[in-house]
Amino acid sequence: MSTQDYATRISQIVQEHEADIGADWMAQLEALTVRSNAVSKEQLRKHCQQFLTAFSTATRGGELQNIEHRSWDEVRDLLAEISSSRARGGSTPGETATFVFSLKQPLFTRLNAGFAGDQAVLANASWVVSTLLDKLGLYTIEVFQRARDQIIVRQQQELLELSTPVVKLWNGILALPLIGTLDSARTQVVMENILQKIVDTGAAIAIIDITGVPTVDTLVAQHLMKTIAAARLMGADCIISGIRPQIAQTIVHLGVNLEDVMTKATLADAFVVALERTGTSIIKKD
């Protein structure tokens, strides 16, 4: 029996017994799936029906060895959609791949009946289908991992933006409290946020508070100087606050030149200087 004959017969078996295969497949999935509710069951049933229809159509193309063939485009697109939605929904790669792997038993049951007269042909057909489903299952894992990686990258970007808030302290005065390590990626976000805030508010002073930065090395100092230089190009002067004794010693030992940058020990001290530079004074009320 040729590959085309196998493909035609397998497609016929799937079409003839689609309802029974779908019912058995759903039973398998419900027994294996931990997360189960009315909505997910309905969605699962819909995905099973769509996949069986697309699978039957694809097998008629006769290409059972290469799932990258154009005849499998619809199947791959459907699996990509299912895998991506499950990645967003919190499923695991194993649970996603199980969607395909669990189809083996219902299919093999029908193949046994369809090729009962010839055990050699049955063995070959079972091997072809098993290998095919293995490839499709691995494809779902690959798509799932790519989707999960994209989610992680997006979340990291969102965390970076949330961890670098620019606060308006007073008219013409901004504050940027930094907490945690300052690397190249975060420096870019810091620079973009503070420059945009300077444009939006027309601020003349920006206070960069590094009280929450655990250590300052040469790289961190360079990042700070780049941010200060960019702010100055936008017409705003910068004050660095939060210079603790340990950080002051480190900066001296590193030989970092901060002579042309105003530095203060605390954010409050820096705020007082900023008020003076903007022509504002604080008067204590009796």
The model's pTM: 0.63
Walk along the chain (286 residues) and give the pLDDT tens digit of each residue: 566 676 788 888 888 888 888 889 988 887 775 454 444 778 888 888 899 889 988 888 778 888 998 999 999 999 999 998 888 888 888 888 989 999 999 999 888 888 877 788 888 888 888 999 999 999 999 999 999 888 888 877 766 666 678 889 999 999 999 888 777 777 788 888 899 999 999 999 999 999 888 877 788 788 888 888 899 999 999 999 998 888 888 888 878 777 788 899 899 999 999 999 988 877 777 6
For 161, list phi and psi in degrees, rounded to 5. -65, -40
Q: Residue 202: which region, alpha, beta or left (left: phi > 0; alpha: psi -120 to 50)?
A: left
For 112, list phi and psi in degrees, rounded to 5. -60, -40
What residue type is 59 in one-letter code?
T
106 pairs with which residues across the strands?
none
Q: What is the DSSP string of 47-107?
A: HHHHHHHHHHHHHTTS--S-TTSGGGHHHHHHHHHHHHHHHHHT--HHHHHHHHHTTHHHH
As a whole number of angstroms, the distance between CA 108 and CA 255 comes to 73
Task: Kindly state the tokens that stand for 72.
Answer: 């499998």
237 pairs with which residues across the strands?
205
Q: What is the DSSP string of 197-240?
A: HHHHH--SEEEEEEEE-S---HHHHHHHHHHHHHHHHTT-EEEE
User: What's the length of the chain?
Assistant: 286
Residues 6 or more apart from 222 whose CB is under 8 A from it? none
Domains, the chain, with CATH or none: 3-160 (1.10.490), 167-277 (3.30.750.24)
